[in-house]
Structure 1
Amino acid sequence: METNNKLKILKSGTTTVGIKVKDGVVLAADRRASAGMYVAHKYVRKVLYIAPNIGITTAGSVADLQFIYDLLKNIYHYNLITGMRPITIKSLATYLANMLSFSKYLPYIVQILLGGVDEQPRLYNLDYVGDITEEDYTATGSGSVEAIGIIEDEYRPDMTLDEAADLARRAIFSSIKRDPYTGTGVIVSKITKSGHEEKEYYPQRKI
């Protein structure tokens, strides 16, 4: 029963998207926070930055996500201030996967996309038991079925970063139309080796 309740928490509440192309990585997420059928907050930030060139999307328990986000930032900046070379995105993803796997019997209730650009664009999908996959594109959360259908139909490896950002925006808008836990608007972030640029979008109401 306890495991089933935890899975229900993971399935509810958001839609996040990650797309990797040759010029960088796009991370996107809706802005609605839900508690069951209740809209707990309309303007939650679900795209966060560990460094200017590394970001994550968040889904799951807010407290667990805050702890993991702070931990990843501390690890990244510790390497910088101690004179080591910046930790790679792959190393951050591996560290997080090991931590989640170690605690899987008392899990952090999270679903995380970790992406950015160091030597090359990277995009990783991690779940609460430590499963890790490197992806060209993916979607998580309660609206992922609607979002992934749009992405599957239109993704190309040779897309520009702007084309990928537009695809991510439209994928989450499709979830907003059909998934009650996804809503308000979309944050879309384009991440390159030199940093990130993000925009917010809100659906136009049809009369």
Structure 2
Amino acid sequence: MDHFPTNWGRPRNDAYDAYGTYPIAQRPYNGPKDAFADGIQRTQQPIVTGTSVLAIKFKDGIMMAADNLASYGSLARFKDIQRLQAVGAHTVIGAGGDMSDFQYIQAMLDELIIDEFTAQDGHTLGPAEIHEYLAQIMYARRSKMNPLWNAILVGGVKDGKRFLSFVDLLGTTYSASTLATGYGAHIAQPLLRTAVEGKEDILTEDDALKILEQSMKVLYYRDARSIDKYQVATITAEGTSISETRRLETSWSFAEGIRGYGAQTQ
């Protein structure tokens, strides 16, 4: 032990040279060995999560909606999180699940778009290419037993073709005219299918907005991890746009007589 107080708080002589040229990362460590640090550590469950993302096709393109809540467990912790992101000029993605993993995916996509732009080869990435890239990333991470804990919807319009697909943490992919993640896959998806399937080529943008607004309202009533603030992304041949935060108009008068579970007489 060094008994001179003037030396306390500075490195020992055997870990420090007079000119400060010894690389910090290579200095010897004489403390106790932490065997846990040598183990392979993986995320066992998501911590800060987003809930449902909804998306449908309409005659001019794709419309997507997600609320602004990121929950810390059951705590409504972050109430101004944007879970929709434009990727290039033709695509929007919406993510549910772990928000830190989504931020990691956003960084990868930003790098991908920059690399594609700097190539200056006359080609741009469309929604199909973005979806394929994400599917490969998710499946690769799943195969390493270190998945990215997200379910992602990819929507876009390129060359006059509408594209809407899903990919999750296992690399599972599928396409449909209506898609939903999280609790919305159970509660909102039946509503979306009833309103949209078979009508994709006649629904207007206003119709699509009303359908998504009604579905988001039902989710707010039924999903304890949702909030009444949400955003809507619209993707058409003209480009992509993500709205400012909207607020749902709700009415809870129907719940005034509810007491506990089951039928009540008073």
TM norm structure 1: 0.89
Deviations 1:25-74 (Å, cap 9, x if unpaired)?
11110111112221111221111111243111011112211111121222
Equivalent residue for 1:93?
A: 131
Equivalent residue for 1:151?
A: 192
Point out the structure with max Rg over C-alpha.
2
Matches within 5 A, 1:6-155: 6=45, 9=46, 13-84=50-121, 85-104=123-142, 105-119=145-159, 120-155=161-196
Equivalent residue for 1:203?
A: 248
Percent identity for Structure 1 against Structure 2: 23
- Residues 107 and 129, structure 1, Cα contact 8 Å, conserved in 2: yes
CA–CA separation in structure 1 for the residues paired with 2:108 and 2:237: 22
Residue 157 of structure 1 and its aligned partner are, at CA, apart by 1.5
CA–CA separation in structure 1 for the residues paired with 2:84 and 2:50: 15
Residue 102 of structure 1 and its aligned partner are, at CA, apart by 1.1
CA–CA separation in structure 2 for the residues paired with 1:33 and 1:103: 23
Residue 205 of structure 1 and its aligned partner are, at CA, apart by 4.6
Equivalent residue for 2:217?
A: 173
Structure with more contact order per residue of length (Cα contacts < 8 Å, sep ≥ 6) = 1
What are structure 2's unaligned runs of at least 5 residues?
1-41, 254-266
Residue 154 of structure 1 and its aligned partner are, at CA, apart by 0.9
SS at match of 1:106: coil
Residue 13 of structure 1 and its aligned partner are, at CA, apart by 4.0
CA–CA separation in structure 2 for the residues paired with 1:197 and 1:99: 26
SS at match of 1:182: coil
What are structure 1's unaligned runs of at least 5 residues?
none
SS at match of 1:94: helix
Which AA in structure 2 matches 1:157? Answer: E
RMSD across aligned C-alpha pairs, in angstroms? 2.3
CA–CA separation in structure 1 for the residues paired with 2:115 and 2:126: 13
CA–CA separation in structure 2 for the residues paired with 1:188 and 1:103: 29
- Residues 53 and 116, structure 1, Cα contact 8 Å, conserved in 2: yes
Deviations 1:160-207 (Å, cap 9, x if unpaired)?
222112211211111001110011322111111222233332122537
Which AA in structure 2 matches 1:94? Answer: E
CA–CA separation in structure 2 for the residues paired with 1:115 and 1:148: 16
- After superposition, the Cα gap between the structure-2 partners of 1:165 and 1:182, relative to the gap in structure 1 and judged at 3 Å, is same
Total equivalences in the alignment: 203
- Residues 14 and 59, structure 1, Cα contact 8 Å, conserved in 2: yes
TM norm structure 2: 0.70
- After superposition, the Cα gap between the structure-2 partners of 1:174 and 1:59, relative to the gap in structure 1 and judged at 3 Å, is same
